[in-house]
Amino acid sequence: MATDGINLWWLGQMGLMIEAGSTKICIDYYATPGEGRLVNPPIPADELKGIDAFLGTHDHLDHIDHDAWKIWEKNNPKAKFLFPRLHKESVLKDGVTGENAVGLNDGETYRVGNFTIHAIAAAHEFLDKDPKTGLYPYLQYIIEGNGIRLHHAGDTVRYEGMLPKLQSFGKIDVMLLPINGRDGKRYRRNCIGNMTYQEAVDLAGEVGPELVIPGHYDMFADNSEDPYAFADYIDAKYQGRLKYRIPKVMEKIEHR
């Protein structure tokens, strides 16, 4: 199948805007200014228009920004909003209509324009599957468009069975992985963790994408990591066999 490729723009933290032809989606964009941020929103929430779908991986402020979703629901009336189904009530409170509120769970798929979006459970830091509903509060997304397959990991650690789920989709071209890790200080203030940069690199090493991008390292001083340590670990261990890019906010990344 011929491919026209995709364009990516990193928005800070785990925020990502992706374009495939005439379709544009936005994932985990934290667009509300506030104290404690190290990176200002690159696009003011009320200026973000022409988006076909907004995706949130889980109901934390820097991934589902409810103040921004309330604005986007009005400024992008045809847009779909995708999120873990367990959080549907909170999304409906943002004013998103039932028709546009698309709750997903592990193993489910939804198509928006040129993109096909697959949901996979994430473990942040645990899977936390709801025993009554069978729903997961945290998701990852496999996004296919114009012949390119992208993995957006959301917030997660690696868990048993996660690698086979990723491999079941075939070749993954691009991965965006959190690298901020976890430690005792964060546990004590109820800040749950993600993969360390070493764990993220080694997951990418097993999956074998054409490009891996680190995320979730830049937004908060007390929950950050050095992306150049991530890069140095790749250079030392994979010696050119695993390509990476340390993104700059709103820098266009073309993948063909």
- Say how far apart CA 32 and CA 98 lie, in whole Å: 24
Q: Check if the beta carbon of residue 191 is closer than 8 Å to that of residue 155.
A: no
Residue 162 pLDDT exceeds 70: yes
Q: Check if the beta carbon of residue 212 is closer than 8 Å to that of residue 242.
A: yes
What's the confidence (pLDDT) of residue 2? 47
What's the confidence (pLDDT) of residue 138? 98
CA distances, 216 to each of 30, 73, 227 (Å): 11, 25, 10
Q: Check if the beta carbon of residue 232 is closer than 8 Å to that of residue 195.
A: no
Which residue has 């193993």 as its token pair?
107
- Say how far apart CA 114 and CA 147 lie, in whole Å: 10
Domains, the chain, in order of start with CATH, read: 6-247 (3.60.15.10)
pLDDT tens string 126-147: 999 999 999 999 999 999 999 9
Residue 71 pLDDT exceeds 50: yes
Task: List the Cα angle 219/176/130 in 5-degree steps.
Answer: 85
Q: Check if the beta carbon of residue 178 is closer than 8 Å to that of residue 156.
A: yes
Residue 53 pLDDT exceeds 80: yes
Q: Check if the beta carbon of residue 255 is closer than 8 Å to that of residue 5.
A: yes
pLDDT tens string 113-124: 999 999 999 999
Work out the average pLDDT over 95-117.
Answer: 98
Q: Check if the beta carbon of residue 9 is closer than 8 Å to that of residue 17.
A: yes
What's the confidence (pLDDT) of residue 11? 98
Kindly calculate the radius of gyration of the chain based on its CA atoms and give it in whole angstroms.
17
Compute the mean pLDDT over every residue in the chain, rounded to the nearest whole number: 97
Work out the average pLDDT over 22-46.
Answer: 97
Work out the average pLDDT over 20-40.
Answer: 97
What's the confidence (pLDDT) of residue 188? 95
Which amino acid is residue 102, in one-letter code? V
- Say how far apart CA 108 and CA 128 lie, in whole Å: 18
What's the confidence (pLDDT) of residue 1? 40
Looking at the DSSP assignment, which residues form a beta bridge with residue 211? Answer: 174
What's the confidence (pLDDT) of residue 78? 97
Residue 222 pLDDT exceeds 80: yes
- Say how far apart CA 155 and CA 45 lie, in whole Å: 22
Looking at the DSSP assignment, which residues form a beta bridge with residue 253? Answer: 8
Cβ-Cβ contacts under 8 Å for 198 (sequence gap 6 or more): 233
Torsion angle of the four alpha carbons 99, 130, 217, 209, in this order, in degrees rounded to the nearest 10: -80
What's the confidence (pLDDT) of residue 230? 98
Which amino acid is residue 182, in one-letter code? R
